[in-house]
């Protein structure tokens, strides 16, 4: 993990917000998407922690341990994507500073691919988290359903932020067919994220009217 990213992740919430607002490229939308996703996983993890071990939900205990492991890994992976986003932007800056040459064109292509791959990974991770939260929606401590739904909303937001980051970089993709496929794939993942969040809300509607 880079020193710059270690600094980002060790900041207070106040300092991270100030750094995001400052006239500097990082942290930006990609870093924020990673943090938002991590917070979504954290809320899901908390809801699960207050559900496991309850007699009322004893029949579901076999589901809780693997779900808890996946949700915890998702949180850490979102933080890793903060690192990856900063690294991808640094590579893009370095490529931009190169003199015009075939080497620069190649470096720009690689940097653009990374700038798209990172948010696409974030979208897939958000969907995996939403799948787990959906599986827990009707097996959750009723006092924690608001946190579970909030976690789902943040996971959806991370997917939406990542969609923006994919789309803003597509202008650098010269292959029109590849660009179209990337746009369509990102849009499909976002639509799935929205649908999952809606399913989670529907599953807890009697507890969260």
Quick one: pLDDT band at residue 4, thresholds 50, 70, 90?
A: very low
pTM, two decimals, is: 0.92
Conformational region of residue 53, where left means phi above 0, alpha means psi within -120 to 50, and beta covers everything else = left
> Average pLDDT of 50-68?
95
Q: Which pLDDT does position 169 carry in this prediction?
A: 94
What's the CA gap between 99 and 185, in Å, rounded?
A: 34
- Does residue 27 have a cis bond before it (omega within 30 degrees)? yes
Supply the DSSP string of 134-181, one letter for each residue: HHHGGGS-GGGHHHHHHHHHHHHHHHHHHHHHHHHHGGG---HHHHHH
User: What is the rounded distance in angstroms from the CA atom of residue 168 to the CA atom of residue 161?
Assistant: 11
User: What is the token pair recorded at 34?
Assistant: 């990673």
Domains, the chain: 31-203 (1.20.120.680)
Q: What is the pLDDT of residue 9?
A: 85
Evaluate whether 163 touches 190 at the Cβ level (below 8 Å).
yes
Segment 82-99, tens digit of pLDDT: 999 998 988 888 888 888
pLDDT at 72 over 90: yes
Identify whether the C-beta of residue 47 lies closer than 8 Å to the C-beta of residue 138. no
């Amino acid at each position: 993990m880079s020193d710059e990213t270690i600094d980002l992740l060790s900041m207070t919430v106040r300092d991270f917000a100030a750094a995001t607002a400052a006239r500097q490229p990082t942290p930006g939308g990609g870093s924020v998407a990673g943090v938002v996703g991590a917070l979504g996983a954290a809320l899901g993890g908390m809801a699960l922690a207050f559900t496991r071990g309850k007699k009322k939900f004893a029949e579901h205990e076999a589901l809780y341990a693997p779900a808890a492991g996946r949700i915890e890994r998702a949180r850490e992976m979102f933080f890793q994507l903060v690192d990856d986003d900063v690294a991808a932007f640094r590579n893009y800056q370095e490529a931009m500073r190169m003199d015009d040459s075939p080497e620069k064109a190649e470096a720009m292509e690689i940097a653009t691919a990374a700038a798209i791959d990172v948010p696409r990974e974030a979208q897939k991770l958000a969907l995996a988290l939403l799948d787990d939260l959906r599986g827990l929606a009707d097996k959750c401590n009723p006092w924690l359903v608001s946190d579970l739904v909030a976690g789902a909303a943040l996971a959806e937001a991370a997917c939406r932020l990542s969609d923006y980051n994919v789309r803003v970089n597509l202008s650098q993709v010269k292959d029109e067919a590849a660009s179209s496929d990337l746009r369509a794939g990102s849009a499909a993942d976002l639509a799935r994220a929205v649908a999952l969040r809606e399913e989670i809300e529907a599953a807890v509607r009697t507890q969260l009217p």
